[in-house]
Amino acid sequence: MLPPATTMPALRSGSAQHRGETNLRRSIAEFLVRDDGASAVEFAIVLAPFVFLLLGLVQMGVYYYAQISLDTGVLKTAEYLNTDFRTGSGTPTLPDAATLKNDVQTYGGAFNSSSNLSVEIRQLTSLTSGLVAIVDGTVDYGGTNSILALRGQANLTIFAPMLGSLATVRSSALVRRQGR
């Protein structure tokens, strides 16, 4: 609201200073009652959280898709190894590290490049805890009747803010090497 006219200093009605103050008061009064840009301001306020929420949802979808793909690739590769160990004629075929990685990538389907994928197989007894890092290319089939841990890890691209904990997916499967 504008202050009452009695508190303003007396000016001659025709002076330039009086006209300037009157125009300023009129502009302020019009600004306070106008709502022309209110929608744009409200949209700008709501847009940023909405975009962050949308990016977060897409990031979660990418994470779960990569996790399911890696789980599928590791499990199907483990099934293949288990079948080969049981039904192979004579000595079972023990694939090298590149073949294991290719199998996990092929069965998983989500990983176009093997550069962000790490795969290893080693004896379960060599894993002292669940915190042993996955070393890409480690191949240790042990002896006959060894229990093997096939483990895979993939690094994802993070594009949503504050979701850095979703940068890596891991999967593992156990396989018993049959006595041959």
Residue-by-residue DSSP string for 41-107: HHHHHHHHHHHHHHHHHHHHHHHHHHHHHHHHHHHHHHHHHHHHHHH-SSSPP---HHHHHHHHHHH
How far, in Å, CA of 17 to CA of 24, rounded? 11
Domain locations along the chain: 38-176
Answer whether residue 119 shows pLDDT above 70: yes
Q: Which two tokens stand for residue 169?
A: 């997916």
Answer whether residue 130 shows pLDDT above 80: no
Largest CA distance in the chain: 114
pLDDT at 88: 60
pLDDT at 145: 84
Q: CB–CB of 59/157 below 8 Å?
A: no
Question: What band does 109 get if pLDDT is binned at 50, 70 and 90?
Answer: confident
User: What's the chain's average pLDDT?
Assistant: 84
How far, in Å, CA of 79 to CA of 68, rounded? 16
pLDDT at 10: 53
Q: What is the mean predicted confidence (pLDDT) over 126-149?
A: 86
Strand-pairing partners, residue 169, are 154
Chain mean position to CA 20: 58
Question: What band does 9 get if pLDDT is binned at 50, 70 and 90?
Answer: low
Q: CB–CB of 114/102 below 8 Å?
A: yes
Answer whether residue 8 shows pLDDT above 60: no
Which phi and psi (to 5°) does residue 152 adopt?
A: -130, 150
The SS3 assignment for 91 reads coil
Strand-pairing partners, residue 171, are 152
Percent of the chain with pLDDT over 90: 42
Going through 79-139 in order, the beta strands assigned E by DSSP cover 117-123
Q: What is the mean predicted confidence (pLDDT) over 59-85?
A: 92
How far, in Å, CA of 92 to CA of 149, rounded? 17
Q: CB–CB of 66/156 below 8 Å?
A: yes
Among 12-21, 98-107, 148-157, 165-174, whose mean pLDDT is lowest? 12-21
How far, in Å, CA of 57 to CA of 124, rounded? 36
